[in-house]
Amino acid sequence: MKIVFMGTPAFAVPCLQMLVEEGYNVVAVLTQPDRPQGRKKTLTPSPVKEAALSLGLPVLQPERLRRGEAVEELAAYEPELIITAAYGQILPKAVLDLPVRGCVNVHGSLLPKYRGGAPIQRSVINGEKMTGVTLMYMAEGLDTGDMISKVEVPIDEADTAGTLFEKLSLAGRDLLKSEMQRLVAGPVPAIPQDDSEATYAPNLKREDERIDWNAGSRDIYNRIRGLVPFSGVFTLWNEETFKVWAAANPSNTPGSTYKSTNAVPGTVLALNEQGILVKTGDGVLVLTSVQPAGKKAMSASDFARGGSMKPGMVLV
């Protein structure tokens, strides 16, 4: 059976590697075009492209899969089953109709919860305790297709989006592996989603990265770990961007003596070996890894020793 795989980030790589290792006939791989990264804006291939090339597979990188020439190029491979994992583009009906065994997606949430492009990050930001992976047939709507199977994955309080991506990536690989024989033989019985229970996880925007110090310590903590190691979060200090890469779990936060202060949220209460203690909407958050504008990321305690930030200054 001819299989086409579509994916882009590292999340999708274990699924692709598993298909090849298990001897399935992957005839082509679609991934997003190379994108500029870093200060030098170097064109960089996606993790899936790198994996596909190392496996000796043909790679297609259409800018828009909806364009007729892209569909024709894909159709030339005569796919009988298409498997996607975080591909990054919505498949048009012309593509959905190509394979006789359908298009199957490995989605990083327990559908119908967290439909959309950022289910993993938003699960962490929202403080969820449980998430998972859903294997589903793709439909024209956004993550609305019938569900084949699911697996649950707990979210630890110390998880970042990065660690959760890795957990779900491996869970997705194992789930897909367990269903591949049925998918090849297909069609597999699938359960319609209950739209009344659907929630959405839209792609992240710049405003999602800014800290609102009026929020509670737990909410800010969740936002930080939900955007690490990708964009991180930021606040403004001396009218410049001040990135925050890690904070102490509020459940274990020292400095309770500061919680009754009348300082406005965002006020720096202390700088010491623990880090930078900042007033929040309901208490104190200890920042443990930061990145001032124009500098590399560093521990907050190292930054504190520099002495440029003082208690009483306000982060906004």
Could you report how far apart the first and last alpha carbons of the chain are, in Å?
A: 57
Tokens of residue 168, six digits: 């779900």
Ligand-binding annotation for 110, yes or no, is: yes
Summary mean pLDDT of the chain: 94
Ligand-binding annotation for 111, yes or no, is: yes
Query: What residue ranges do the domains of the chain occupy?
Result: 3-197, 206-314
For the domain 206-314, what is the CATH superfamily, name and number? Formyl transferase, C-terminal domain (3.10.25.10)
3-197 and 206-314: same fold?
A: no
Helix (H, G, I), strand (E, B) or coil at 299: strand
DSSP β-bridge partners for residue 85: 7
Distance CA 198, CA 119 (A): 12
What percent of the chain stands above pLDDT 70?
Answer: 97
Residue 115 sits at the vertex; the CA angle it makes with 114 and 119, to the nearest 5 degrees, is 50
Model pLDDT, residue 253:
67
Task: Check pLDDT > 60 for residue 301.
Answer: yes
Ligand-binding annotation for 112, yes or no, is: yes
**Per CATH, the architecture of 3-197 is what?**
3-Layer(aba) Sandwich (3.40)
The DSSP call for residue 214 is T
The predicted-structure confidence for 48-104, as pLDDT tens digits, reads as follows: 999 999 999 999 999 999 899 999 999 999 999 999 999 999 999 999 999 999 999
The predicted-structure confidence for 112-134, as pLDDT tens digits, reads as follows: 999 999 999 999 999 999 999 99
Model pLDDT, residue 39:
74
Ligand-binding annotation for 202, yes or no, is: no
This prediction has a pTM of 0.91
CA–CA distances in Å: residue 144 to residues 89, 140, 251, 303? 15, 8, 37, 47
CB 32 within 8 A of CB 89: yes
